[in-house]
Structure 1
Amino acid sequence: MRVGGLRSTVAMMTAAAVSALALGMAGPAHAVDPDRLRDGCRWLSDADEANHVQTCTIHSEALGRDVVVQIRASDNAAGSTEHAVYFLDGLGSNDEYSTWSKDEAGALTSYSSATNLVMPAGGAGEWMTNWQDAPTGSETAPQWDTFIGDELPAYLDENFDVQQTGNAIVGVSMSGAPAVIIGLNHSDTFTVMRSYSGYYETNNPLGWILIPYIQGERADIDNGLSAMWGLPWSSGNQWAANDVLTRIAEAKANGQTVIISTGNGLLTPKELEIAWTVLQEAVRDTPEQLPTLLAAAASGMVLGVTLELGALVSTAILNVGAVALDLPVEFRYSNGGHNWFAWAQGEDEDAAHIEDLLGITSTTQTATTQKTAARTVAAAAVEGDNTGTGEAAATNDAGTPTTSTVQAPAVTEAPAVTESDVPAATTPAETTPETSEPTESSDTDTHDTDAHDTDAPDTDETVQTPEVVGAA
């Protein structure tokens, strides 16, 4: 070969090698670095950065606007199969951040770093569903089911390499039943559905009355009866399509696992202790408002207990139906009220169970975050209460929750259970060992709107009202 030809060949080979290396370095992003901000994402606070929670702004055609989604990317090796758990917020959600992104909600501390956590913000009173018409105060009919089941998985696939199949979805209170419905509507995307203190039987006169009433009282949406799923007696209405009891049998056919839990409204000594602490803090800061604070605490307590009793009844009805149909649905019952602290009590157990169902394994430790006593007190927040107050956890005298679990008979896709695990249709509970779990989240820690400008707000801030056991 001539010298000139050899030089040309070497140059071409070198250029090809450099190009291949460059392409490899600029290849598809993998969730191997949870500290790397994706395009359109930012850290809202030092605390979020420490917890690897980035806040991403996504334009949604389904919602007709930009929406905030908080994501904790995994630290898996490049090329790993990436699963995600989607967390839907409650009735009092805001557009800036998800309550699930708070340390005390339990998710950040309970799920291993091998799991991608996805936490959409917003949707207060909108029931995380597809609306037929625009709700009061909005110009477009939000399509939450489409966003969560179609648009968001595509975004996560493109930006975080999260696969669009084999994930889990979690809902609480308002979003409990919708989490199950979205999972049924997108059975390839979600193989596990988890609901806390939800309301499942919507297609009946009580549902037709209570859901629009709650939307009006808590979210200023006064056209929910007609705008959300259509008038119940009208042609083409979607009330039955969003009734979990009506559709729960689909889970077995899809090979999905459904996990349902509720408290019984019975406030425990620990719960009352934290309620008293919150009240003392409020009185200390504003002693002149003592009568108002006492009245707010009492009314909040009654409302919180009432809401959880409603969830208990709804869950028991669904339990009976699932047992009758021989469905792969797990039911768990515990003491406690309608609050984030109580819901977080079982988070460690839930995380391990859900990760096992999804086939997630990790060589790293479960993510850790720091908690303080002040945060624990401030965290006694009722779902839906963004005033920095709320209700405490359901625990026994030793500080651990008392739980019981009921499982409908399992199919091969569901966790294995024995015939003795199946309750009689009229007895939806049995005792299981006690567990000890983390504390709840607080809505007191509002986030900075500028990326990483300041730390998360001080958790010792003034408690405005002591609704330690208040409404969802």
Structure 2
Amino acid sequence: MREAKSTRRYGRKLTAVVLAVVTAMGLMGTSIGSGKADAAPGFQEFWIDACGMPTNGAFGNKSMAPGKVKVRAWKKAGNQRTVIALDGMRAQYDKSGWEINTNIQNMVNRGVNVVEPIGGPNSFYTNWDAPSNFNGQKKRYMWACVLDNRLVPALRSRGFKGKNGKYAIMGLSMGGGAALTRAAQRRDLYYAAASLSGYNFLTAPGMRTALRMAMLDVAPAPWNIDAMWGPPWSPRWAQNDPARIVNKMHGLKVFLGSGNGLFGRYNYPQNVVDDFVKGTPLELLAFAQTKAFELSANIQGVPTMTYYANGTHAWGYWQDMAWNALNRGFFR
């Protein structure tokens, strides 16, 4: 796909300015602040095949079933929609950050089942070229396989309803761009995709360097970015960059959310320093990336539903974005 020159210029200018700040700090991938998780009905936990990829047991934690990915979900009889919620770069192996820090599980009371696959720090929910040799990963990540070929069939067999048999997929930060990519690449499985403070223009100048720095600081660190999609000239970078595959999103419902880096309702006095030093530059980068993607989508005739507000890179704002999407009919 050949991008319009105006899109490239816009993306470069927006990304380069913020990227210089974030890269210098080496802080990308940190999430500051939180919402509050409430109890939600219809909870179930199950395991799906990991497509041969490593589980957290590969890094010394033996609590996870070997060769399996844990899924925590909320389903209610009568619900006709289901959303798969992807985590950020610091995803844990006990619960999703969505469950720990937000109340989106309560969407089950508003007609939308909520599904949260667990694990995958730094994975970008993609199939990697090779294991990350820097931190001793024994087998490569295979998250695209897990989501598309294992999770979706498991949801269908368990009675999770979708629109014409398809599901919505939503992610934050690392998971935001991944949600757009998964939906674009598998239109037979997903009807809607939402990116919240996502990095949606991964081939923009300097982004690979920023991602490399981020991956050096996420447990079990350090991760080798070259093991993901190969060297910068590998075609897999363009194939997994939402901004480069917009032409595959015609007819897909797309929601984009981002803060503007300014303090808002979830920036608490005790977190001022962290929010300013970490949350603000991270969200400025996400804002630039989201705006660049939105422009590219609009140029190519792909409508987007957007939500911009005051806020930094924090869970409370992602919770608000998710509820905004639901209240505006995004999952219908």
* Residue identity matched to 2:148: G
Q: What is the Cα deviation at residue 213 of structure 1?
A: 1.2
Residue in structure 2 matching 1:125, options 119, 122, 125: 122
2:303 paired with 1:344: no
Residue of structure 2 in register with 1:413 after alignment: none
> In structure 2, how many angstroms separate the alpha carbons of the residues matched to 1:185 and 1:139?
27
The percent identity for this pair of structures is: 25
Q: What is the Cα deviation at residue 95 of structure 1?
A: 0.8
- Tell me if the contact between 1:170 and 1:176 (Cα under 8 Å) persists in the aligned partners: yes
2:280 paired with 1:305: yes
- Tell me if the contact between 1:75 and 1:114 (Cα under 8 Å) persists in the aligned partners: no
> In structure 2, how many angstroms separate the alpha carbons of the residues matched to 1:48 and 1:158?
27
Q: What is the Cα deviation at residue 144 of structure 1?
A: 0.6
> In structure 2, how many angstroms separate the alpha carbons of the residues matched to 1:162 and 1:326?
29
Residue of structure 2 in register with 1:68 after alignment: 70
Matches within 5 A, 1:226-265: 226-234=226-234, 237-252=235-250, 255-265=251-261
Q: What is the Cα deviation at residue 129 of structure 1?
A: 0.9
Q: What is the Cα deviation at residue 300 of structure 1?
A: 4.5
* Residue identity matched to 2:245: R
TM-score (norm 2): 0.77
Residue of structure 2 in register with 1:189 after alignment: 189
Matches within 5 A, 1:437-456: none
The verdict on how the C-alpha distance between 1:161 and 1:306 changes in structure 2, with shifts beyond 3 A counting, is closer
TM-score (norm 1): 0.55
Larger mean CA deviation between 84-93 and 62-71 belongs to: 62-71
Q: What is the Cα deviation at residue 215 of structure 1?
A: 0.9
2:258 paired with 1:266: no
SS of residue paired to 1:177:
helix
> In structure 2, how many angstroms separate the alpha carbons of the residues matched to 1:349 and 1:201?
23
Residue of structure 2 in register with 1:149 after alignment: 148
- Tell me: higher relative CO, structure 1 or 2? Use CA pairs within 8 A at least 6 residues apart: 2
> In structure 2, how many angstroms separate the alpha carbons of the residues matched to 1:179 and 1:147?
13
The verdict on how the C-alpha distance between 1:50 and 1:330 changes in structure 2, with shifts beyond 3 A counting, is closer
The verdict on how the C-alpha distance between 1:209 and 1:321 changes in structure 2, with shifts beyond 3 A counting, is same
Give per-residue Cα distances to partners, 1:344-403, cap 9 Å, x unaligned. Answer: 1233331234xx4554xxxxxxxxxxxxxxxxxxxxxxxxxxxxxxxxxxxxxxxxxxxx
- Tell me if the contact between 1:74 and 1:113 (Cα under 8 Å) persists in the aligned partners: no
Q: Please say which structure displays the higher CA radius of gyration.
A: 1
- Tell me if the contact between 2:257 and 2:321 (Cα under 8 Å) persists in the aligned partners: no
* Residue identity matched to 1:120: P
Q: What is the Cα deviation at residue 249 of structure 1?
A: 2.1
Residue in structure 2 matching 1:59, options 29, 46, 49: 49
Give per-residue Cα distances to partners, 1:105-149, cap 9 Å, x unaligned. Answer: 131234535322110110111111110101233211111111111
- Tell me if the contact between 1:111 and 1:348 (Cα under 8 Å) persists in the aligned partners: no
- Tell me if the contact between 1:201 and 1:244 (Cα under 8 Å) persists in the aligned partners: yes
> In structure 2, how many angstroms separate the alpha carbons of the residues matched to 1:311 and 1:48?
27
2:64 paired with 1:89: no
Matches within 5 A, 1:410-421: none
Residue of structure 1 in register with 2:34 after alignment: none
Give per-residue Cα distances to partners, 1:286-334, cap 9 Å, x unaligned. Answer: xxxxxxxxxxx52453111000000111111112212222212222211
SS of residue paired to 1:238:
helix
> In structure 2, how many angstroms separate the alpha carbons of the residues matched to 1:160 and 1:223?
37
Q: What is the Cα deviation at residue 341 of structure 1?
A: 0.7
Residue of structure 1 in register with 2:159 after alignment: 160
Residue of structure 2 in register with 1:105 after alignment: 102
Q: What is the Cα deviation at residue 221 of structure 1?
A: 4.5
Q: What is the Cα deviation at residue 162 of structure 1?
A: 4.0
> In structure 2, how many angstroms separate the alpha carbons of the residues matched to 1:167 and 1:232?
32
Q: What is the Cα deviation at residue 50 of structure 1?
A: 5.5
Gaps in structure 2 of 5+ consecutive residues: 1-36, 55-66
Q: What is the Cα deviation at residue 220 of structure 1?
A: 4.3
Q: What is the Cα deviation at residue 227 of structure 1?
A: 0.3
- Tell me if the contact between 2:255 and 2:325 (Cα under 8 Å) persists in the aligned partners: no
Residue of structure 2 in register with 1:170 after alignment: 170
> In structure 2, how many angstroms separate the alpha carbons of the residues matched to 1:336 and 1:97?
25
Q: What is the Cα deviation at residue 166 of structure 1?
A: 2.2
- Tell me if the contact between 2:88 and 2:174 (Cα under 8 Å) persists in the aligned partners: yes
- Tell me if the contact between 1:75 and 1:113 (Cα under 8 Å) persists in the aligned partners: no
Residue of structure 2 in register with 1:442 after alignment: none
2:323 paired with 1:327: no
Q: What is the Cα deviation at residue 99 of structure 1?
A: 1.8
Larger mean CA deviation between 57-66 and 67-76 belongs to: 57-66
> In structure 2, how many angstroms separate the alpha carbons of the residues matched to 1:71 and 1:82?
15
> In structure 2, how many angstroms separate the alpha carbons of the residues matched to 1:263 and 1:114?
27
> In structure 2, how many angstroms separate the alpha carbons of the residues matched to 1:324 and 1:207?
22
> In structure 1, how many angstroms separate the alpha carbons of the residues matched to 2:121 and 2:181?
18
> In structure 2, how many angstroms separate the alpha carbons of the residues matched to 1:186 and 1:194?
15
Residue in structure 1 matching 2:290, options 315, 323, 340: 315
- Tell me if the contact between 1:111 and 1:351 (Cα under 8 Å) persists in the aligned partners: no
Q: How many residues align?
A: 281
Q: What is the Cα deviation at residue 161 of structure 1?
A: 4.9
- Tell me if the contact between 1:194 and 1:259 (Cα under 8 Å) persists in the aligned partners: yes
* Residue identity matched to 2:228: M
- Tell me if the contact between 2:96 and 2:118 (Cα under 8 Å) persists in the aligned partners: yes
SS of residue paired to 2:129:
coil
The verdict on how the C-alpha distance between 1:86 and 1:169 changes in structure 2, with shifts beyond 3 A counting, is same
> In structure 1, how many angstroms separate the alpha carbons of the residues matched to 2:185 and 2:237?
14
SS of residue paired to 2:126:
coil
> In structure 2, how many angstroms separate the alpha carbons of the residues matched to 1:339 and 1:357?
22
